[in-house]
Structure 1
Amino acid sequence: MPPDSETLLAFALTAAACVACAVIDIRTKRIPNAITFPVAAALLLLHGVFSGTTGLTSSALGLAGGFIVFLIPHLFGVLGAGDVKLMAMVGAGLGTQALLTAVLFTSIAGGAQFFVWLAWMRLAGTRKGRGYRLCYGPAIAAGALATMALHLAGQPYLSLVIPQF
């Protein structure tokens, strides 16, 4: 069954913003509020218009969930504030159903990115990477794109299964 118009529009907007933020993050080591804030607002509006209160609630909770999950590493100095806002925007676009999948895929992409960076530093024979903060925008974009691809391929999002006794 093909995805509905709401899903396609939300995915297209989320994907475009994620790719733009990833490219900017690589070039400037910053993720601009000028992209994350308006796109998050547009995604909330889009879900609200297409699905009413249910869509708006899922989008708002996705935004809050993405923000909270990435706020914790930010408070420990591991991620930048732009990364937190970008993940919140992804949560607004994908909603609560996809948030766990997006966070997991982003973490996998971030781990892979880190190991590639370590290998690069080793091959280059430099220790200049000490204190360097990785640009996490590309990992967030990869995680979001992988989550959307999973859904478009007809596969279910990952979920926590709580056994009933």
Structure 2
Amino acid sequence: MSAAALGAAALIAAAFVTDIRTMRIPNLLTGAGFLLGLGYHGATAGWNGAGSALAGAAAGFVPLLLLHLMKGIGAGDVKLFGALGAWLGVYETAQLLMYSILYAGAIGCIVIAASRPFARRLWTGIALFIAPGRLGMKKEVWNGWAAQGLKFPFMLAVAPAAVTLWW
């Protein structure tokens, strides 16, 4: 593994522990991770390295910011991917993001299958989407279902995604 990949792996490991314990990723961790990644690439490759680190940070930060604005993930995950992008660059960050989303989808399917009340709400929501008003249900039911969605730490998907990326 390269030094940059080791830096990213250390960042993922620390974020995994905090996210599992508290469902939060501290700003100190993501900020320090970003600055260390930027500093590492700036020191080893000069301005080109720093520019590459900034491009990687944007590649991780911007797509997840959109997911955060849609209430799909927490702000800590957004900042974490910005920091990971500073270590990994655009290409590896995009790959890690893709694998993470795929793993999160698989975990979400398991959560749905394991939670019968959630599965009932899901089918009700699908029925409302397909045939609104036919079931005699109001928009409030849909909004209530969406607000009660189950959550899990995104790092449960990011950690295996990183293993997949580097394997």
- With the length of structure 1 as denominator, give the TM-score of the two structures: 0.76
Q: How many residues align?
A: 142
Q: Partner residue of 1:144?
A: 162
- Checking the alignment, whether the CA contact within 8 Å between 2:104 and 2:157 is kept in structure 1 is yes
TM-superposed CA distance for 1:12, in Å, is 1.1
Highest CA radius of gyration, 1 or 2? Answer: 2
Distance in 2 of aligned mates of 1:17 and 1:64: 17
TM-superposed CA distance for 1:109, in Å, is 1.2
Unaligned runs of 5+ in 1: 150-165
TM-superposed CA distance for 1:75, in Å, is 0.4
> What is the Cα-based RMSD across aligned positions, in Å?
2.4
Secondary structure of the corresponding residue to residue 24 of structure 2: coil
Secondary structure of the corresponding residue to residue 131 of structure 1: coil
Amino acid at match of 2:155: G
Does structure 1 residue 20 correspond to structure 2 residue 20? Answer: no
TM-superposed CA distance for 1:10, in Å, is 1.3
Unaligned runs of 5+ in 2: 122-146
Q: Partner residue of 1:102?
A: 96
Query: Structure 1's 44 and 148: CA in aligned 2 closer, same or farther, altered over 3 A?
Result: farther
Does structure 1 residue 31 correspond to structure 2 residue 25? Answer: yes
User: Which stretch of structure 1 is more off in the superposition, 100-109 or 139-148?
Assistant: 139-148
Deviations 1:93-139 (A, max 9, x none): 110122221121111111122122223324xx998x93332211222
- Checking the alignment, whether the CA contact within 8 Å between 2:38 and 2:54 is kept in structure 1 is yes
User: Any residues of structure 2 matched to 1:118-133 within 5 Å, and which?
Assistant: 118-122=112-116, 130-133=148-151
TM-superposed CA distance for 1:143, in Å, is 2.2
Q: Partner residue of 2:152?
A: 134
Distance in 2 of aligned mates of 1:17 and 1:126: 38
Amino acid at match of 1:24: T
Q: Partner residue of 1:50?
A: 44
Q: Partner residue of 1:162?
A: none
Query: Structure 1's 97 and 60: CA in aligned 2 closer, same or farther, altered over 3 A?
Result: same
